[in-house]
Amino acid sequence: MAATVMEGVLHAFEIAKEERIAAPIEIVFETILEQMGPLNSTPEKPMPMVLEAWPGGRWYRDLGNDSGHFWGHVQAIKAPALLEISGPLFMSNPAVSNLQYRLTEEDGETVMRFRHRAMGWVGDQERGVDAGWSDMLARIRDAVTERARK
Amino acid sequence: MLADGQEYAVNEIVVRMKMAQPAVSKHLNALRKAGVVTVVKRGQHRMYRLDALALKPVHDWVRVFERYWTHQMDQIKQRAEQKALERLIRQDKDKK
């Protein structure tokens, strides 16, 4: 077994967005749960998620037959002011994210403040790990083929 | 300053940035440890250069997530405002 000590591979980033919405705070909160859950989508296509809206609840893609992709856990929820999620999201890397939707009512509108902070080892393909795993997978495939022949 | 891809010695950075040499060295050391700049020794000088390739993975992830969250927030705003409007229309009808 080979072990490699990696240096300089950890990164962190933050994405912050703020939006003023002409709707009552409880409607905005309910809509966030819907959009993060069954109505979730990418700019290209619908991508329904399951969001269990309670502390410790899971946020995941259910692909049926016990298949799917876990994106995170509800770290804190306080309707209608806060939804906080922590987890790997869709990063198949040793990385963790914290998401926060914070809502306040100001001048008859709802202000939605969003933060996504992430840290970890990002971009393994660019650092040669992809090639390493491809070799490993090729070896496994060869071994399986060899066994099947016997 | 390092964004132009050129190599710079610490004293050149000190002059250009108008900062104290210990502070510049401290920053450069942190950037080097994070893999953001590379350093090579040329004679008496340690030359620093931005390693833009090291920053590419994190930029790629930020771009992917920014696109996704911008879409997500647009959807939330649009749907919440639509629901609020429908509620107002319903309440208005109930009054009549």
DSSP string over B23-85: HHHHHHHHHHHTTSEEEEEETTEEEEEE-HHHHHHHHHHHHHHHHHHHHHHHHHHHHHHHHHH
Per CB-CB distance under 8 Å, the chain B contacts of A126 are 53, 56-57
Residues B27 and B65 in one domain: no
Tokens 């946020």, located at residue: A59
For residues B32 and B62, membership in a common domain is answered with no
Task: Please give the tally of structural domains in chain B.
Answer: 2
**Do B57 and A127 lie within an 8 Å CB cutoff?**
yes
Higher pLDDT, A148 or A10: A10
What CA–CA distance (Å, rounded) separates B94 from A64? 43
Q: Give the H/E segment covering residue B22.
A: helix B21-33
pLDDT digits (tens, 9 = 90+) for A108-120: 899 999 999 999 9
End-to-end Cα spacing for chain B? 67
* Residue listed under structure tokens 């790990």: A129
Residues in CB range of B23: below 8 A, 6 or more apart = none
Task: Tell me phi and psi for residue A67, to 5 degrees.
Answer: -105, 155
pLDDT of residue A132: 44
Per-residue model confidence as pLDDT tens digits over A134-145 = 554 455 455 555
| Domain, as residue range, for B20 | 2-50
Asked if residue B77 lies in contact with residue A21, where contact means CB atoms within 8 angstroms, the answer is: yes
Best of A10, A29, A31, A122 to disrupt the B interface by mutation (most B CBs within 10 Å)?
Answer: A31
A69 vs A10 pLDDT, higher one: A69
Q: What is the pLDDT of residues B39-70, one digit of tens each?
A: 888 888 888 888 777 777 788 888 889 999 99
Query: Are residue B33 and residue B62 in the same domain, yes or no?
Result: no
The mean pLDDT of A82-96, rounded to a whole number, is 93
Q: Are residues B70 and B96 in the same domain?
A: yes
pLDDT of amino acid B7: 86
Please tell me which residue, A127 or A106, carries the higher pLDDT value.
Answer: A106
* Contact flag B80-A114 (C-beta cutoff 8 Å): no
How many whole angstroms from its chain centre is CA A111?
23
Distance CA B76, CA A29 (A): 9
Domains and CATH numbers, chain A: 11-121 (3.30.530.20)
Contact A122 B77 (CB under 8 A): no
The shortest C-alpha distance from B76 to chain A (Å) reads 6
B32, B50, B68 - which closes a domain: B50
Neighbouring-strand partners of residue A82: A78, A102
Return the pLDDT at A145.
56
Q: Could you give the CA distance from residue A129 to residue B56 in angstroms, rounded to a whole number?
A: 16
**Higher-scoring residue by pLDDT: A141, A10:** A10
pLDDT of residue A35 exceeding 80? yes
B81 and B60 assigned to the same domain? yes
Which of B49, B36, B46 has its CA nearest to residue B7? Answer: B49
Residues B68 and B93 in one domain: yes
Round to whole Å and give the CA distance between A37 and B79: 14
* Residue B9, both tokens: 């010695």
**pLDDT band of B96, cuts 50, 70, 90:** confident
Task: Give yes or no for residue A104 having a pLDDT over 50.
Answer: yes
At A129, the pLDDT band (50, 70, 90 cuts) reads very low
Which chain A residues are within 8 Å of B70, Cβ to Cβ? 17
pLDDT reported for residue A126: 39
Choose one of B20, B35, B50: the last residue of a domain: B50
What pLDDT band is residue B90 in, cutting at 50, 70 and 90?
Answer: very high
Residues B34 and B70 in one domain: no
Domain CATH number, residue B46: 1.10.10.10
